[in-house]
Structure 1
Amino acid sequence: MIDIKAVIMAGGKGTRLRPLTCDIPKPMVPILNKPVMEYSIDLLKKHGIKDIAVTMAYMPSIIMDYFEAGDKWNVNLEYFIEDTPLGTGGSVKNAQEFLDDTFIVISGDALTDLDISKAIDYHRQKKSKATIILRREDVPLEYGVVITDESGKVIRFLEKPSWSEVFSDTVNTGIYILEPEILDYFDKDVNFDFSKDLFPKLLEDKIPMYGYITEEYWNDIGDLNSYMETHFNILDRKVCVDINAREIEKGIWIEDGVEIGKNTKLSSPVYIAQNSSIKDNVNINAYSIIGPNCDIGNHSSLKKSILWKNSKIGSSTHCRGSVLCNDVELQSRINTFEKSAIGKGSLLSCGVKVNPNVKIWPDKIIKEDTIISQNVVWGTKVEKNIFGYKDVSGHINTQINPEFSSRLGSAYASTLHKDTSIIISCDCFNASQIIKNSLISGILSTGVGVIDIKNTNLAINRFAIRHYKAKGGVHVSINHLKNDEVHIEFMNETGANIDRATEIKIENLFNRDDFERCNAKDIKDIIEVDNFHYFYIDDNMKNINNLYEIKTIKPKILVSSICSDVMKLAYKVFEKIGCDVTCDHSIKDYEDIDLYLSNMAKNVVENNLDFGVVLSQNGESVLIIDEKGRIIDNEKYNILTTLILLKSKNIKRIVIPHTMPTIIQKLTQKHDVEIIKTKHSHSCFMNAVLRDEEMFTQYLFNFDAVSAVCKIIDFLAENKIRLSHIVDEIPEFYFIKKQIECEWDDKGRVIKNIIMQNDNRNIELFEGVRINTDKGWCLVLPDKEKALFNLYTEGICQEYAEELSIDLSSKIENLLKNKRL
């Protein structure tokens, strides 16, 4: 028995062990169902050391809550917490008041069965002031290398050398036997390290310092490999620690309360903790460790896998070389492969495949049949659907990073023929450029060609696809209001957004990593086009029918956009066709867009301008202010452009999303025009208007803001009228849009009940549920991207519109509260 004290260094974050250490400090990572630090306490107690200081920094409360004062282990624990990182030496110095005689420093996140008594005897025999416990390692590159002379005195050491610097195979284990006076070399609360700072000073001052080479087991649990290896070494009895379970046959350790089903095979060595349930026809292969309260479903198998507590594995699921943290659920038909790790509380739905070396952070939800080939760190869930309402979007360098983008580019290009080319572009942000370049790499790797039209807007990308007769396009942009949010849009050969069927193809290819790859000789050159916008400007010039009249009138226009590049383009086009153009850059100074529009409207009126336009950052949509200061946006703009189309010649068809006010349909009844109703999605509407060349002007009005304004200017010049004349023709209508938040799993239940409640009324199920009444209509539409319902209501007067909206809202909120319905 040894009458000395000990210090357990338990401040490790375990960064390389994540996701195992995302919610617990490294010393609390379990080894055979107990924290690794507990083995250090057991070892110290075995050698009669009961007074133990524990130095902590990261999540200290978790350690203190588990070990408390140490009574359960018959030791006395005192805790010392670092407010700021102090290094290995500084953390021990922080406990100096506790250390009044020889003491041993041991790691709380390494496993060893060191004979401490022999090491102490060696320290005292050598009259050493500092003894470093050493161990021979064939590959010492990850450790501090130490060389001793024949007497064992330390003469040289080096932290983590390269092979050219290796001068010994004895490495520093981080276990030290020290005399208290050596701590006087540094002041308290000073950051210093034993091996980098203190030991070189001792060496320089010729203070007796020795190395004790141990042949016993030691393993630093620094990463997933060493963590798993430690388990396997214990099961192989290569380390002398107690296994708290009955060995029912050689190499099969079972704790109390374990249930094992019929035809289940256990192949040693295996460890199963208390109260776990193994169902029928299960194979628990060698080096499998199952924590307490786990369930293993029928026909499943484990091999070289480690399950923490409360994990559940469904039927026909197979884990190979994986670590599952607490409360993980794997549903049926799941496969996980070597060196994969799944964080606490994560749920993997049926059919998921986790590829080798993949790490899934805690509390993730992985949707069915997804193939996970990269680490899942951010967000709350990963699912097969990567497309939202109209694009792929997410936070830059987290949800959407270069690796993701390259794979996405490969998936998109794999839907095309190799002998084709696509247009690619991005806005002016550097972040967009990075994502664009990654997409290009992925696309080129499939053999598909790329025409890079550089920095521009989405509307010009669509134009370029038609101009070059390309087979598709990709545009990358950053949200100007949320600078960390990136958007990636994919187009087909007409310049319209790809349809849902193509999105599904891309998602399937992406999730399966099922990409076309070409030989080196088939990788095409990137065709780079500078100043492509000049082609766009020329095209707009060619499509103006009344250029002379416009230049004669010289309309005075105020132009604004949150994107300066879009505003510059608009300035060039409008000036080229003969307008007197002024740019308003002040929009960026306003947080309240309504206040800005109000001030812009005053500006238009006070300066006798013909109208003002506010262009969206992607160059697609536009808001117009007439010379009287009236703001024409959203539904009013759609009615305005419908009136222009109806007054134009040779218009036979108009496309209307079914979420639009019915006043548009009433306007068309006066003309011999066919109405084509579409679903509300961006892609459905755009593909419909691009299906027929006669409807191309409607496309421009909705998806090319600069060209739309040109068309309006051309129409006004041809008819010799001002914008207010056509605005005056917009009929009164009463339309309300609203959103109601919900849970994702409420959507189907609520829609079903809305249908049932209105089964005797005039309802349409074209998309969502539309309820028609003699007072108007209302539509409830579950949102594709967010956990909410979109409500659209139109009444024969404002009172009726509000009444319908309130009534439907109340019914939905009632259903959301009553989960039993």
Structure 2
Amino acid sequence: INTGIYILEPEVLDYYEYGQNFDFSKDLFPRLLHDGVPIYGYITEEYWCDVGDLDTYIETHVDILSNKNKHYLLGGGQEKGLWIDKGAIIEKGAKLSPPVYIGRNSIIKEGAIIEPYSVIGDNCFIGEGTSIKRSIIWDNVRISKNCEIRKSTICNHVWIGERSRIFEGVAIGSHSKIFSNVTIKPNIKIWPHKTIEENVKVKDNLIWEEKASRKLFGYRNISGRFNETITPEIATRLGTSFASVVNAKGTYIVSCDEHNLSKSIKSSIISGILSTGSEAVDIKDSTIPMCRFGVKHFKADGGVHIRTDNAHEDMVYIEFINNEGSNIQKDMERKIENSFILEDFKRCSGNQIKDVVNIYNFSSIYLKSGVGDIKNIEKIRAKKPKIIITSYSKNISDLAERYLMDIGCQVKVIPYWKGLEAKDIRSLVLDESGDLGVIYSENGEKVVLTDGFNIVKDEKYYLLSLLIGFKTGNIKDIVVPYNFPRIMEKLAQEYQGDTIYSKSHISNIIETILKNELNFQYILNFDGIWAVGKIMDYLVENNIVLNQVLQELPEYFYFKKEIPCNWDDKGKVIRRLTEDRQLDTELKEGVRFTDDKGWALIIPDEEKPRFNLFIEGYNEEYAEELWVKYDEKIKKILKD
């Protein structure tokens, strides 16, 4: 049997020609014996095992860990069946069941469970609540929280997201990225440099296929974990790609929130922009509406805004803005992605690098412009309405407080706490006899309103903004996302206005609003700080409260649902739905069905393996019937 290690003289290689099918045991050894060439064998007492497959590879580690005569292969440092190398950190609450080997500088977090016959290489990170059983983890592997690894082999430089499950016989090649909530079925092989989207179940080997690869852009931005999927090196390349594609000699606004993590990524993006010969204007402690305002204020070629996520540790979001102040379109995303992947960059020489333009007080310019747009500022200052505000972002709370105080409001800022909900602010407004409560979104774009009785958010807030626009005369026509309630069109008809439908992607909505010069609608829906000022301006001018305006909103029956699916099922479902379409079916975005009970819109999610189902019925019962009908229809197609 051809097993073992061979030591050959170079002349032996003359026995075969290049490209010839030649086997040692069947071809070479018989010829050597025929020619009288001596062949020697060496009998060893050392440990020997043929590791021709993953099972024997793992069992070899079991042999070494369980047999005292082979422990010398592991080096020193053994204590009660635990080999823990220099610099390794085992946090209190981590459970290690011997025999186990932990490599140097590796970190095992609290609550992690390392079961017998597991090997963790050098510079690894094992997150809280993760369980590893009888597996071999190579070097520089990061496994996030609450994962399950069962009798698997994980090669170098692999990153595994939270709540992922990897079963027996799996091998994951080097430099692969496995996103959150992934399940890899038994005996699957993932070749190197592969990326698997979150919520995916992998049932087949991933060798050449790109189907599990993650797109660079998501619904509206590029997102990932700091120093894992979004590193300073990646951020630099993104900055270079953006400037190379848009205008290599242009001017770009770069802003971020107040967190050091965001500032680190911002610095890298600025470096990439400068490397093309472009100019970078650095706006400090900003919001996405401020970045858009800055692009137009400085007549820049585009902008980039970076923010973090208080709800998810180390998450980074990067948004790209065009010269009109809107999020970039899909075709521009593809161009940036191609430039990024192919490294098709435009570079400048060293003497063409420009200084960074640092703007430290741009928030004052932004807030002053917003204050100047309030018509009834003296009435507001005389009335001194009391407003209670909060935000995930302290920076946004501070900016909103400055703005509202400048227009004459009394402001109470509530520090955000984990689990805070709109009903908590509603109770505070009622208890303290406030005029309005506001929750600002983390990026400063959206708001949730309450007057102590009502909670206004999402499509209801959008409807409110349109009503105020019509009643003030600031808008005549409206832009409505394709997936929003059609009751908005009826509202426009009441005020002799036209409805312009846009696709539901944020870049399409903002671009359509700006193209039609609907600045009032833009402010109320995409600049939360200025929006609250506009709403207070209207309420004070007409000496009314929010509840009175809400009473004028037309009744509607609308809701959104999510239907999980596999990534590969999306095309099949849409194809089957379009095959069944009748005359009352639209294909502008997803598939929209209309009947005498209302309408249903099915759109595949861009970022996750699911369908988004939007329903509007002529009454609540009809809406529920439509939901049941299309939920069952989609699930039946998924089962077929």
Q: Same fold (TM over 0.5)?
A: yes
Pick from 248, 257, 261 the counterpart of residue 431 of structure 1.
Answer: 261
2:67 aligns with 79
2:132 aligns with none
Pick from 808, 813, 817 the counterpart of residue 630 of structure 2.
Answer: 808
Quickly say closer, same or farther: Cα 1:91–1:531, change in 2 above 3 A.
same
Quickly say closer, same or farther: Cα 1:676–1:86, change in 2 above 3 A.
same
2:190 partner amino acid = G
Quickly say closer, same or farther: Cα 1:568–1:756, change in 2 above 3 A.
same
Matched, 1:760 2:590: no
Quickly say closer, same or farther: Cα 1:686–1:61, change in 2 above 3 A.
same
1:570 aligns with 400
1:14 aligns with none
2:443 aligns with 618
| CA–CA distance in structure 1, aligned partners of residues 321 and 468 of structure 2 | 28
Matched, 1:722 2:567: no
| CA–CA distance in structure 1, aligned partners of residues 258 and 399 of structure 2 | 13
CA contact (8 A) 1:469 1:493 kept: yes
CA deviation map 1:373-425 (0-9, x unaligned): xxxxxxx9445x31110001111111111111111111100123333211001
Matched, 1:345 2:190: yes
2:506 aligns with 682
Quickly say closer, same or farther: Cα 1:53–1:716, change in 2 above 3 A.
same
| CA–CA distance in structure 2, aligned partners of residues 692 and 643 of structure 1 | 18
Pick from 226, 246, 263 the counterpart of residue 396 of structure 1.
Answer: 226
Give runs of aligned pairs for residues 574-585 of structure 1, distance below 5 A. 574-585=404-415
1:461 partner amino acid = C
1:467 aligns with 297
1:672 partner amino acid = Q
Quickly say closer, same or farther: Cα 1:68–1:550, change in 2 above 3 A.
closer
Quickly say closer, same or farther: Cα 1:420–1:63, change in 2 above 3 A.
closer
Give runs of aligned pairs for residues 273-672 of structure 1, distance below 5 A. 344-346=189-191, 381-383=212-214, 385-585=215-415, 587-590=416-419, 593=420, 596-626=421-451, 628-649=452-473, 651-672=475-496
**SS at structure 2 position matched to 1:729:** coil
| CA–CA distance in structure 2, aligned partners of residues 710 and 744 of structure 1 | 43
User: 1:346: how far off?
Assistant: 2.4
| CA–CA distance in structure 2, aligned partners of residues 78 and 523 of structure 1 | 61
CA deviation map 1:164-189 (0-9, x unaligned): xxxxxxxxxxxxxxxxxxxxxxxxx9
Quickly say closer, same or farther: Cα 1:67–1:668, change in 2 above 3 A.
closer
1:88 aligns with 75
CA contact (8 A) 2:475 2:521 kept: no
CA deviation map 1:48-95 (0-9, x unaligned): 333x4589xxx997447469999xxxxxx9833999x9963567999x
1:621 partner amino acid = K
Give runs of aligned pairs for residues 213-292 of structure 1, distance below 5 A. none
| CA–CA distance in structure 1, aligned partners of residues 66 and 234 of structure 2 | 48
2:43 partner amino acid = G
| CA–CA distance in structure 1, aligned partners of residues 394 and 474 of structure 2 | 37
User: 1:501: how far off?
Assistant: 1.2
1:88 partner amino acid = G
Quickly say closer, same or farther: Cα 1:518–1:367, change in 2 above 3 A.
farther
Quickly say closer, same or farther: Cα 1:599–1:61, change in 2 above 3 A.
same
Quickly say closer, same or farther: Cα 1:817–1:443, change in 2 above 3 A.
same
CA deviation map 1:733-782 (0-9, x unaligned): 1111000111111011101111222x235111010000001110000000
User: 1:664: how far off?
Assistant: 0.7
CA contact (8 A) 2:327 2:506 kept: yes
CA contact (8 A) 1:53 1:78 kept: no
2:634 partner amino acid = I
Quickly say closer, same or farther: Cα 1:796–1:755, change in 2 above 3 A.
same
Flag the structure with higher strand content.
Answer: 1
**SS at structure 2 position matched to 1:414:** helix
Quickly say closer, same or farther: Cα 1:521–1:815, change in 2 above 3 A.
same
Matched, 1:48 2:43: yes
| CA–CA distance in structure 1, aligned partners of residues 278 and 574 of structure 2 | 43
5+ long unaligned stretches in structure 1: 1-31, 35-44, 71-76, 95-188, 192-221, 223-324, 329-342, 350-361, 369-379
2:200 aligns with none
Percent of residue pairs identical: 37
CA contact (8 A) 1:795 1:801 kept: yes
Pick from 548, 552, 561 the counterpart of residue 738 of structure 1.
Answer: 561
| CA–CA distance in structure 2, aligned partners of residues 622 and 577 of structure 1 | 18
Size of the alignment, in residue pairs?
Answer: 493
User: 1:670: how far off?
Assistant: 1.2
CA contact (8 A) 1:54 1:78 kept: no
| CA–CA distance in structure 1, aligned partners of residues 287 and 208 of structure 2 | 34
**SS at structure 1 position matched to 2:246:** coil
| CA–CA distance in structure 2, aligned partners of residues 93 and 799 of structure 1 | 67
CA RMSD of aligned residues (A): 3.4
| CA–CA distance in structure 2, aligned partners of residues 366 and 533 of structure 1 | 49
Pick from 776, 783, 789 the counterpart of residue 598 of structure 2.
Answer: 776
1:700 aligns with 523
CA contact (8 A) 1:422 1:465 kept: yes
With 791-800 and 714-723 compared, the bigger mean Cα shift is at 714-723
CA contact (8 A) 1:778 1:792 kept: yes
| CA–CA distance in structure 1, aligned partners of residues 59 and 535 of structure 2 | 71
| CA–CA distance in structure 2, aligned partners of residues 81 and 485 of structure 1 | 47
| CA–CA distance in structure 1, aligned partners of residues 495 and 628 of structure 2 | 35
CA deviation map 1:536-584 (0-9, x unaligned): 1110111011111111111110001111110111000000100011111
Q: Which has the larger radius of gyration?
A: 1
CA deviation map 1:279-307 (0-9, x unaligned): xxxxxxxxxxxxxxxxxxxxxxxxxxxxx
| CA–CA distance in structure 2, aligned partners of residues 564 and 327 of structure 1 | 41
| CA–CA distance in structure 1, aligned partners of residues 312 and 281 of structure 2 | 28
2:492 partner amino acid = T
Quickly say closer, same or farther: Cα 1:66–1:603, change in 2 above 3 A.
closer
1:669 partner amino acid = Q
| CA–CA distance in structure 2, aligned partners of residues 709 and 78 of structure 1 | 68
| CA–CA distance in structure 1, aligned partners of residues 76 and 329 of structure 2 | 62
1:123 aligns with none
CA contact (8 A) 1:347 1:366 kept: no
1:623 partner amino acid = V
User: 1:671: how far off?
Assistant: 1.7
CA contact (8 A) 2:304 2:321 kept: yes
CA contact (8 A) 2:221 2:320 kept: yes
2:549 partner amino acid = I
1:673 aligns with 497
5+ long unaligned stretches in structure 2: 1-22, 26-39, 82-98, 102-120, 122-169, 174-187, 195-203
